[in-house]
Amino acid sequence: MQPQMPLENIPRYINREKSLLEFNRRVLAQANNPEFPLLERLKFLCISSTNMDEFFEVRLASLYELRNDPSARTQPDGLVPQDAIEMLSEVAHDLVDEQYHTLNNILIPALEKEDIRFLRRNHWTDQQKEWIRNYFIQSLQPVMSPMGLDPSHPFPRLLNKSLNFIVSLEGKDAFGRTNGLAIVQVPRSLPRIIKLPPEATDGVNDFVFLSSILHSNVSNLFPGMTATGCHQFRLTRNTNLFIDEEEVDDIMSALQGELSSRQYGGAIRLEVSDRCPKNMYEYLLDQFDMDEHQLYRVNGPVNLHRLDTVPDLARRIDLLFPPFKAKSLKSSTKAKQTRLKLFSRNKQPQTLFDQIYRQDILLHHPYDSFSPVIEFLQQSATDPNVLAIRMTLYRTGEKSAIIDALEKAAKNGKEVTAVVELRARFDEDNNIQQANRLQDAGVNVVYGVVGYKTHAKMILVIRREGEHLRQYVHLGTGNYHHITTRFYTDFGLFSANPALGHDVSKIFQQLTSLGDTNNLLVLLQSPFTLQSGMIDRIHREAENARQGKPARIIAKMNGLQEQGIIDALYDASQAGVKIDLIIRGICSLRPGVPGLSENITVISIIGRFLEHHRVYYFENNAGEPELFCSSADWMRRNLFSRVETCFPILNKKHFQQIYTEGLAIYLEDTMGAWVLQTDGSYLPKQPKADEAPFSAQNWLIEKYSS
């Protein structure tokens, strides 16, 4: 039981970035989860490393940008940026130490028991040493560019997150001089971990780190001199892009110019080997104009993410999750014979348009296959009755069948419009390439709205049917990305509902013409009505509770940070509304505070799949409860700086399915659920004494596999 603090002494909000680090701590905890297969646990360690990289590149970097602004404060907790940086630095150092403890003391010993070994230099056999030496000479040395430091060889400009070595040298160079220090930059094309072949070792899965190979052979890069020290390091830079959209004529051209400089932003973090002597890491800090609190000394490779190649190289499927095959639309139909009819009376196959016209289709990814979305576009591209296709594209991935379908549709004479968000973080270059490809095919490509990212997930197909034009829509909670749909949980809805079609058409018209959309029938839209629409419904639940009527809110999302919604939830809690929040990542709301939020519980689900639904349920006096799915989290950026959609679930069967599969079963989870405490920490949710452990994701896998 936590000691009760006076209400006035408890901060009203949890710092956003600290909450993000707590999320990554939960991800890292899965690497210690004995319920997961061993190589999957290694993957979670790698994911936590990638998450930390992004934390430094984006979130902490943003705070560094604000340090010199005396009026700047973090939102919603109101910290001075420098105070936030110092607080977050302490948490981040602790988390990084935990990562390497997990690697060295838990995962590596467990992997060794499965004959997956990471060989240390001092344990190499003569046979291994010989193969490693030849590998260095043949595969590494020719592509290395060692640089001795002197006035004509200044400290090199290092790429963001690249692997480098600082080397101390004894002896004279070819020109009779004593340099003392050198830098070795490792090309990104080289693997960071190498599996030894059968001729080099007796083990089936023996690995060596590239850093170990370089350490043992580094003197070969400096003929006539001797390396007395060799220490790996990695620099993390600010990767935020700076574009004044009001001042540029072409966002694509401006963005392309910024992308080339992203790898050389301001220095945010320096990782070095924990064996690196003080004089060397101080020299590096001085070169990058960094403070010592930006230094991270690590016991292992400076980029843990590169260990993600091991599961593929090891070929141990017994140490991975059992394969899961998403259910196809046909198999779903067969299992639920009342859902769809695939053949008409004359036995001719019907199109997806026929099926959607008859009844809305709900897909639950990754349990349902994503292929119907691709098929929908492919049929639209070739159907002679389809006149126009409009679609938003935020992340699509490379070699996308969706891009192929849009390209084909344009070449077939359809009127195709693609709203491509060029500023999807870290996907900018791919999105630019896809936009150029679509334009070359004759697609009308627009880049959204200046100052607002287009994050909505929408497809609109206009089809001539007899004397009428019918609108078919797809609305989703996740990206049109064929890879992420295999492990992100999302809902997608196909519908020919005229109200949905009207609203989606209006929003596309707004995105292209920049006209007003003040007459939407059923959709809520950011940045206009979504935040106020959610707050109105929260206030309605509060008023119902004050009047003694049934009142309940259940909401599932990736992040909650917007102050207006948090304050409305606090008010509803004080009115007596029972509020259950299922929030995977950031949560700035502080639950369990007496007199403020004691009726609010917050859980986070971490499991095999990445929880990505956005689902919002309001009891509405138990008469006509409302259920919404959305592309938007309850974050300030989603509600005020992006174009987002939030759509009601109007079909009763789909309402019950989403309520059950997207909300209710997660509240029962005791295997992947973590409960947010009042102090901002999380504790694993435990089953009651008479309950068996329950996993929502496992329940869904079993349901969709039957």
Q: How far from 253 is each of 239, 249, 261, 449, CA to CA, in Å?
A: 18, 9, 13, 16
Strand order across the beta sheet in which 116-118 lies: 116-118, 205-209, 193-195
CB-based contacts of 490, cutoff 8 Å, min separation 6: 364, 365, 476, 477, 478, 612, 613
In contact, 338 and 66? CB cutoff 8 Å: no
Other beta carbons less than 10 A from residue 33's beta carbon = 16
d(C-alpha 9, C-alpha 43), whole Å: 40
d(C-alpha 655, C-alpha 612), whole Å: 18
* Helix ranges (DSSP H) in 55-181: 61-66, 81-101, 108-113, 126-135
In contact, 166 and 234? CB cutoff 8 Å: no
Q: How far from 319 is each of 114, 367, 694, CA to CA, in Å?
A: 9, 22, 22
The string over 632-659, giving b where at least 16 C-beta atoms fall within 10 Å of a residue's C-beta and e elsewhere, is bbbbbbbbbebbbbbbbbebeebbeebb
d(C-alpha 48, C-alpha 24), whole Å: 6
* Helix ranges (DSSP H) in 583-668: 636-640, 652-658, 665-667
In contact, 177 and 149? CB cutoff 8 Å: no
List the beta bridge partners of residue 168: 181, 229
d(C-alpha 437, C-alpha 421), whole Å: 14
In contact, 212 and 231? CB cutoff 8 Å: no
CB-based contacts of 89, cutoff 8 Å, min separation 6: 293, 294
Query: Where do we find the tokens 């360690």?
Result: 45
How many separate helices (H) and strands (E) can be counted in the chain?
Answer: 22, 27
Tell me which DSSP letter residue 317 carries: G
Q: Strands, E, within 197-290: which ranges? A: 205-209, 226-237, 267-273
In contact, 270 and 235? CB cutoff 8 Å: yes
3-state helix, strand, coil split of the chain in percent (to 5) is 40, 25, 35
455 is catalytic: yes
Reduced to 3 states (helix: H, G, I; strand: E, B; else coil), residue 25 is helix
Distance of CA 261 to the CA centre of its chain: 23
At 586, list the tokens: 């950031």
Catalytic position from the list 215, 231, 364, 455: 455
CB-based contacts of 83, cutoff 8 Å, min separation 6: none
Closest to 366 measured CA to CA, from 617, 609, 168: 609
Phi, then psi, of 65 in degrees rounded to 5? -65, -25
At 52, list the tokens: 């930390």
d(C-alpha 213, C-alpha 141), whole Å: 11
Distance of CA 369 to the CA centre of its chain: 20
Reduced to 3 states (helix: H, G, I; strand: E, B; else coil), residue 414 is coil
In contact, 486 and 610? CB cutoff 8 Å: no
At 190, list the tokens: 């080289």
Other beta carbons less than 10 A from residue 624's beta carbon = 8
Q: Annotated catalytic sites, by residue?
A: 455
